[in-house]
Amino acid sequence: MKITVLSGKGGTGKTTVATNLAWLLSKHLKVQLLDADVEEPDTHLFFPIHFSYEEPVEILKPVVNNSKCINCGKCVNACQFGAMISFSGGVYVFDSLCKGCGVCKMVCPTDAIKELPKAIGKIKLGDITDSLKYGMGIMNLGELSGVEVIRQLKKHIDEDAEVVIIDAPPGNSCPVVESLRGMDFAILVTEPTPFGLSDLRMALEIVKEMGIPSAIIVNRYDVGFDGIEKFSKQTDIPILCRIPFNKKIASLYSEGRLFVKDLPEWSAVFNDTLNRIMVSVK
Ligand code: SF4
Ligand code: SF4
């Protein structure tokens, strides 16, 4: 069972759900938690982790040999990301805009472009307990897209794990799509506000488009806005559980502690959550 936990924006409780769910399920099952929020991974703050492996994430970036360049402009025209500009002396590549797609090299008629590997981040793997494995992707500062880091992180999905939980990046863009690709289920974490509802709509569009079954977890459900409940009924996307606005939960989170450890009544709630997910995936 491979589950991605996502939300349309940061601060809705996505990490709270991913970490608490992973830890609780690991009491009975082999679980792997992967942090794909590669710009700002923070799930590691909730656990003592023994890291045992690290590898770089590299992509190939073009380097132009201007002595071979005939200034035909084919590479500049072919680059979809505006990462190249031609000038009288040849072609210049804007490294921060380049996605390493390789198209410029393919179209160059004089073989003036070669590709060199460039590190854009790293992957770290480790163990939290015997039954809870951990992995995180970290994107280097200044890089614009975490897609490649997430793709490489997902190559380390542990096929022996009974449940894999991916903490997705916030938002609705390409890194979120990458964190959902090939997954069995999506948990959409939201909060009961008009903004929360708007983000939830967009997140649901993505998972529907990708054909991934999903359900909602409402964080701070008791603030008074009933739009999420109505949306759930209209779309037939069930609400798996409702986490209240609770000072104890908030203060445990701010101390980097898992609330399920101090509030054991949540064991039953999250176990029920997983059972409901399993039923809807079958
Ligand atoms: S590798 Fe792709 S993104 Fe980078 S400069 Fe070449 S065409 Fe543009
Ligand atoms: S395609 Fe090759 S020859 Fe043409 S402008 Fe680009 S680098 Fe120069």
Contact 199, 190 (CB under 8 A): yes
Residue nearest to atom 4 of ligand 2 (CA): 72
Domains defined along the chain, listed by start: 2-57+122-281 (3.40.50.300), 66-111 (3.30.70.20)
- Higher pLDDT residue, 167 or 144? 167
Model pTM score: 0.86
**Per-residue confidence (pLDDT) for residue 282, from 0 to 100:** 62
Q: Per-residue pLDDT tens for 159-178?
A: 999 999 999 998 888 999 99
Provide Rg for the chain, Cα atoms.
22
Q: Per-residue pLDDT tens for 4-56?
A: 999 877 777 889 899 999 998 898 899 999 999 999 898 999 999 999 999 99
Contact 45, 252 (CB under 8 A): no
Q: Which ligand is nearest to the CA of 108?
A: 2
Contact 237, 203 (CB under 8 A): no
Ligand 2 centroid to residue 69 C-alpha, Å: 5
The pLDDT-based confidence of 216 (bands split at 50, 70, 90) is: very high
Query: What is the residue-averaged pLDDT of the chain?
Result: 90
Place of tokens 């997902």: 154
Whole-number Å distance between alpha carbons of 109 and 244: 62
**Per-residue confidence (pLDDT) for residue 182, from 0 to 100:** 95
**For ligand 1, mutation pick of 103, 108, 147, 174 (most atoms within 8 Å of CB):** 103
Closest CA to 104 of 148, 72, 143: 72
Residue nearest to atom 4 of ligand 1 (CA): 98
81 lines ligand 1 (CB under 6 A): yes
Residue nearest to atom 6 of ligand 2 (CA): 75
**Per-residue confidence (pLDDT) for residue 281, from 0 to 100:** 67
Closest CA to 7 of 32, 34, 36: 36
Closest CA to 8 of 220, 207, 224, 278: 207
**Strands in 221-262 per DSSP E:** 239-243
Least-confidence region, from 153-157, 199-203, 274-278:
274-278
Per-residue pLDDT, averaged over 78-85, amounts to 95
Place of tokens 């606005």: 245
**Per-residue confidence (pLDDT) for residue 274, from 0 to 100:** 79
Contact 36, 179 (CB under 8 A): yes
Closest CA to 216 of 175, 178, 201: 201
Closest CA to 143 of 98, 80, 209, 206: 98
What kind and span of H or E run contains 117?
strand 113-129
